[in-house]
Chains A and B, each alone.
Chain A
């Protein structure tokens, strides 16, 4: 018997890794043909309806609190007033690979009825048939929503493919340099600081390094573990500041001078010890950088306004009670004045989030009602009272964030010069190639030249050699 036992053990062990992947390949025909929901969306029914909603957040993050404390009770009450029995369940997200999980869920016909969604996933999910245009799912009713008038076209477009909206945008953001004014003061630097070139950032970091040797002068996201943060608030602001871009005139930009200049800057700050490499390579590095900044152990941090509203706000994960007094913010300068993209002196990059309806939902009509309820003026105002942020709705922005100096700064100074990610389905792969390239430089795995060359060939592998410029 022993032999037989061993053989079957062996067989099970042998095949295990394949089984996992095979499980993913099962249902690719279920995604394409969801047109049956078509134009004839079901009318509101009298049957009890149960909806599920998921956001990539857990308590005490404000999105989760808001959904549980405001959205669900208010929406259920509203439905009850109309004599309809609708219950809503919040499925907590808050995982690192929310996107992967969502894609897997959708590909097998599962997943929450409404889910939060990052703007830059739209193209690839739509191309895979994992999400569907709102008009396909819900019908003409979509056009009757009052909210469209309040959302700028560019923002609607962030969750659209070929002008067909796939979801409702929630808001946008901007990237700046946050700095600790208390540390700047201790180091003899001006507390009202606005660098106009990369050299001025380096000067300030070097001053912090020599005056306050116990703190980390600055942090610029660089690791693979930082994921999209590395791309959007690390590499991209540098690339744009050197006059580069990701995609120009139909061509992806490979190994260009701007790429190398951005990498040189990374190399300088990490090899001089102006920034802490460990914090980039650890799996929880981003949280560590937040923690260091909130505790006054980190001088400068290039981040989105998420840091301000979601991390160091008094109810955030790393609260800073008197953030108005201790934290300053400055525009990210180009390498030299005028050297940035479009000849700009300063640059920024923006992302955005939204919500989409699951094409597999049994209740597209009710899901749409919930979706628009969450994006209504009243709901969004309630949200920004909990956490001021730049929403997609202009009426809410006017009434909701005027008192917040940081967000007003983003809305007025940053958004006019910002940059959005190209809406191609290949973008996420390009972004990963970027993270890889940058980590190779800061970890010392390769020098600037070979990292840039490797990026170029990786890019050719992703989009095809004919679509890559530079090199």
Chain B
């Protein structure tokens, strides 16, 4: 495939390592580490890849035939319900009451109502803060740090660390929530017991947003760690050694060699983690969205209006808005990915 050129190109800066990829990197190859800026400024002429050749093995009708069942299933189980939910967003459909039996078309009322609702706006902010702090900064930052720190470790120490991190990721959410509530409880929580003195802080009430952010970092770091671990392994050791020999500091190595090499992985992780976090409902198990909506992320908002208050139509409208926001995140991501490829 065509999108993995980062590695190939970077090998250009390590002339002594031109073994299997020589045909690609031959044209350039100037400069040592210091000369290879982070922005991958060296434009490598891309050999003309014959994409057609790859699919030419099967005919077009046959290809369509192979894809059709998948498309059909996606259409039936994903696209149709999505469109149906979108339609519900334009009605006053309810869980109970007259509007459950005879929903009426209300146009864009639900959407304007949502945008007018201060709780919707606040839940959007809470969600964005939650995504940025716990997902992007927290999980990815910590995941990368862990992967970087332990990249050279081998054997049981490494495995122990990996297991510990992964356990927090694979325990069922409800169990984890129970553990965290016990941990943060005011009267007999573990955290307060660990703090010297007679502390009875109700953490889930005093620092609710911080609590769910830390909870989610703890919970989801494993994914980023595993992904970055795999990414770091794709950097040829020779690059790092060259950097070392050239006298690059750890920070320079990280900035000029490592980060550019794993940029594609970082982008992918940003997309997955931010979407996951954006749609996450688990904070509900800790705080129920409270106190007084301080931790009401959008998934909880939708749950509250749709199932708590029975406004399924309104809830569908809000879901559609969530979809739109996710779509924007995805578009930005694909854009960045394409630009990266174009540059390459």
Q: Which residues of A contact B (CB under 8 A)?
A: 1-3, 6, 9-25, 28, 31-32, 97, 100, 103-104, 107, 121, 124-125, 127-130, 223-225, 278, 281-283, 425-426, 428-429, 432, 439-440, 443, 445, 461
Contact = CB atoms under 8 A, between A and B. Distances in A.
Interface string B90-119: 000111111111010000000001000000
B266 interface: no
A127 B84 contact: no
Contact of A21 (B4, B85, B103): B85
B322 interface: yes
B338 to A, nearest CB: 10
A282 B205 contact: yes
Interface stretch (B38-46, B153-161, B167-175, B301-309): B301-309
B202 A19 contact: no
Nearest to A288: B187
A25 B93 contact: yes
B281 to A, nearest CB: 9
A100 B304 CA distance: 11
B3 A128 contact: no
A278 B288 contact: no
Nearest to A17: B319
Contact of B272 (A9, A281, A461): A9
A23 B95 CA distance: 12
Contact of A128 (B101, B202, B322): B101
B326 interface: yes
Given A17-B302, A124-B310, 13 more contacts: A2-B268, A10-B272, A13-B275, A13-B276, A18-B86, A18-B316, A22-B82, A24-B95, A107-B100, A128-B99, A128-B101, A281-B291, A461-B113
B290 A224 contact: yes
Contact of A28 (B79, B101, B205): B101
A429 B231 CA distance: 52
Interface centre among A17, A125, A224 (most CB of B within 10 A): A17
A19 B306 contact: no
Contacts of A283: 287-288, 290
Nearest to A444: B292
B63 interface: no
Contacts of A14: 275, 323, 326-327, 330
A440 B302 CA distance: 20
**A-B pairs with lowest CB-CB distance, top 9:** A128-B100, A22-B81, A281-B291, A22-B85, A124-B96, A18-B85, A443-B292, A283-B288, A13-B275
A3 B279 CA distance: 22
B291 to A, nearest CB: 4
Contacts of A3: 1, 3
A425 B97 CA distance: 6
Nearest to A25: B88
Given A97-B307, A283-B287, A104 B205 contact: no
Given A17-B319, A21-B85, A21-B306, A278 B205 contact: yes
Interface of B: 1, 3-4, 74, 78-79, 81-82, 84-86, 88, 93-101, 103, 113, 186, 202, 204-205, 268, 271-272, 275-276, 279, 287-288, 290-292, 299, 302, 306-310, 312, 315-316, 319-320, 322-323, 326-327, 330, 333
A133 to B, nearest CB: 15
A128 B96 contact: yes
7 contacts: A14-B326, A18-B316, A97-B307, A107-B100, A128-B96, A429-B310, A432-B308
Contacts of B287: 283
Contacts of B307: 97, 100
Interface centre among B82, B86, B276, B309 (most CB of A within 10 A): B82
A18 B323 contact: yes
A42 to B, nearest CB: 26
Contact of B310 (A25, A100, A224, A281): A100
Contacts of B93: 25, 28
Contacts of B291: 281-282, 443
Contacts of B85: 18-19, 21-22, 25
Contacts of B268: 2, 6
A23 B288 contact: no
A182 to B, nearest CB: 22
Contact of B309 (A125, A223, A432): A432
Given A19-B82, A282-B205, A432-B309, A128 B94 contact: yes
A87 B327 CA distance: 52
Nearest to B268: A6
A429 B309 contact: yes
A293 to B, nearest CB: 15
B290 A13 contact: no
A130 B100 contact: yes
Given A18-B81, A18-B86, A25 B316 contact: yes
Contacts of A125: 96
B205 A127 contact: no
Contacts of B319: 17-18, 20-21
A15 B323 contact: yes
Contact of A281 (B101, B290, B308): B290
B95 A104 contact: yes
Contacts of B315: 21
Given A97-B307, A282-B205, A283-B288, A124 B275 contact: no
Contacts of B96: 103, 121, 124-125, 127-128, 130, 425, 428
A128 B98 contact: yes
Contacts of B79: 15
A25 B93 CA distance: 8
B97 A97 contact: no
Interface centre among A15, A21, A22, A128 (most CB of B within 10 A): A21
B299 A17 contact: yes
B264 to A, nearest CB: 9
B104 to A, nearest CB: 12
B310 A127 contact: no
Contacts of B333: 10
Contacts of A10: 271-272, 275, 330, 333
A340 to B, nearest CB: 30
A114 B46 CA distance: 71
Nearest to B265: A2
A61 to B, nearest CB: 21
Contact of B97 (A19, A127, A224, A278): A127
